[in-house]
Structure 1
Amino acid sequence: MFNKYKHISMKKISTILILSLFSFSAFAQIPKLPQLTSYGFRLGLTASPTIGWVKPEQGKSDGIALGFSYGLMGDFNFAPNYSFSTALTITTMNGKSTEVDPTYIKSLDLAANKSIPVAYDLKYKVQYLELPLTIKLKTVKDNGRRYYGQFGLSNSFLLSAKQDAVSSTAQLDNVKISDYTKFYRAGLIIGGGGEFDISANTSFVAGLTFNNGFTNITTDKNRDVRNHYLALNFGVFF
């Protein structure tokens, strides 16, 4: 009796093993669908020349000035065509303006008449640590290329601030104005560009972003100054 049941059990086990092997073999022969994207985290390096300008309420913009941004960038892919994108960069935001009686600058201008308003041609040289929080909307990859649009919030934390000032009575260079510049700056980011595969795990990124500052950067209660920039973005994801 025991041998009879043992023989039946062995036949069942053998049948299950044979069917499993056939199933696995058939599944292995099914062609794989093309992969639309790689989910997960991607890290890369970025470098961006910038064109900056300032807009004072109590004065006027007086031209653009070049700057530079560099650091790390990262994409968190949470859907085939969507990514949460951030970075950690050192960014210089420069710009030129003409303003009347900026408090700290005029206090250093010993030849100025304190009772008469004085117009100063200023050049802002402000450096921030930037931590943007944005969303990327991407096209489906085609022949190693895909394109994206980007939108989100710029968070900038002051590292240093200097200013050149010229008036009819003074010429001041690299005046430190960190104590008169707010620590935090917020802005709105909008941009777009493309990613181009170099190898299986490496891609080159190129794009353009507009960073529109919407907070006052000066601590002077009598002044309101906002800075903005365009960046030509280059980077490599690894």
Structure 2
Amino acid sequence: MKKITTILILSFLGFVAYAQNSPLINYGFRLGLTATPTIGWIKPEPGKTNSVALGFSYGLLGDFNFAPNYSFSTGLTITTINGKSTEVNVSPYYANANNSIPVAYDLKYKMQYIELPLTVKLKTLKADGKRWYGQFGLSNGFNISAKQDAVSGATTVGDNQKISDFTKFYRAGLILGAGGEFDISGNASILAGLTYNNGFTNITTDKNRDVRNHYLALNFGVFF
């Protein structure tokens, strides 16, 4: 897992270095930092969503401007997606495969990913040091931690249980976002906005369940 993390970081930084020196980039490259709270939820089938849970995302942002009002926007972040659900016959807690009586579990997923978004950002013309944007694209998540709390009836059957063997390594999602950039000094600007990340791949390895996680991010960042 550490090797994969290192490869992703080096690849991102290598791409940044190429973009800064490439003659094909005529409108500039901007690098930034982000620290973002997330509001996540789980949508299982079969099962039901119980409630949302807070998470966090932090890391690097990068905008490759290929036209005055258009950017290819990416980044490299560590993102936590939490959420609660009720599901039936969940591994690894449901060990007796011969039991014909279904068992319900109240679950809290605590998932952490390295995320590499690939999006297009559409911007308005800058006026009075501010501009607005809309964003659309693909989210690529690579699972680096998967834990779960589980309760069946009044019995706790999992407390921060590691479930990496029961969850998938790759998560794909659709990104929709909007917000604004506000100049503060020189080339520096603050970013603020809202992003909806709709997961569309099953995060579990159980072929009898289709569990997807989604989140809203209250975006905050600084571009330099």
Question: Normalised by the size of structure 1, how large is the TM-score?
Answer: 0.80
1:144 corresponds to: 129
Aligned partner of 2:54 in structure 1 is 66
1:98 to 82, 86, 89: 86
Pair 1:217-2:203 in alignment? yes
Q: Is 1:196 paired with 2:182?
A: yes
Residue in structure 2 matching 1:163, options 142, 148, 168: 148
What runs of 5+ residues in structure 1 fail to find an aligned partner?
1-37
Q: Secondary structure at the match of 2:92?
A: helix
- 2:108 is matched with 123
User: What is the distance in 2 between the residues matched to 1:96 and 1:235?
Assistant: 28
Report how far residue 71 of structure 1 moved: 0.2
**Identity over the aligned pairs, expressed in percent?**
77
Give the TM-score of the pair, scaled to structure 2: 0.85
Aligned equivalents of 1:105, 1:203: Cα separation in 2: 49
Counterparts of residues 20-35 of structure 1 (less than 5 Å):
none
User: 1:169-202 deviations in whole A, cap 9, x for unaligned?
Assistant: 6302111100110000100000100000011110
Aligned AA for 2:147? Answer: K
AA aligned to 1:202 is A
Partner deviation per Cα, 1:93-124 (whole Å, 9 max, x = no partner) = 001000011021223xx9xx944211100000
Cα separation, 2, equivalents of 1:166 and 1:70: 30
* Per-residue deviation, residues 6-61 of structure 1 (Å, max 9, x unmatched): xxxxxxxxxxxxxxxxxxxxxxxxxxxxxxxx921100100110000011011100
Which is greater in Rg?
Answer: 1
Counterpart CA distance in 1 for 2:152 and 2:166 is: 20
Cα displacement (A) at 1:92: 0.3
Q: CA deviation at 1:88?
A: 0.2
- 1-structure distance, mates of 2:108, 2:214: 14
Is residue 42 from structure 1 mapped to residue 30 from structure 2 by the alignment?
A: yes
Alignment RMSD, CA only?
1.4
Question: Among 71, 75, 96, which residue is 1:83 paired with?
Answer: 71
Structure 2 residue runs without a partner (length 5+): 1-25
Q: Per the alignment, in what secondary structure is the counterpart of residue 147 of structure 1?
A: strand
State the distance in 1 between where 2:210 and 2:113 align: 19
Residues 133, 178 of structure 2: 8 Å contact kept: yes
For 2:94 and 2:116, locate their aligned partners in 1 and report how far apart those are by CA, in whole Å. 34
SS of 1:103's partner is: coil
SS state of the match for residue 186, structure 2? coil
1:208 correspondence with 2:194 = yes
> When you count helix as a share of all residues, which structure comes out higher?
1
Provide the C-alpha distance between the structure 1 equivalents of 2:189 and 2:133, rounded to a whole number of angstroms.
14
Structure with more strand by fraction: 2
The 8 Å contact of residues 87 and 105 in structure 2, kept in 1 or not, is answered as yes
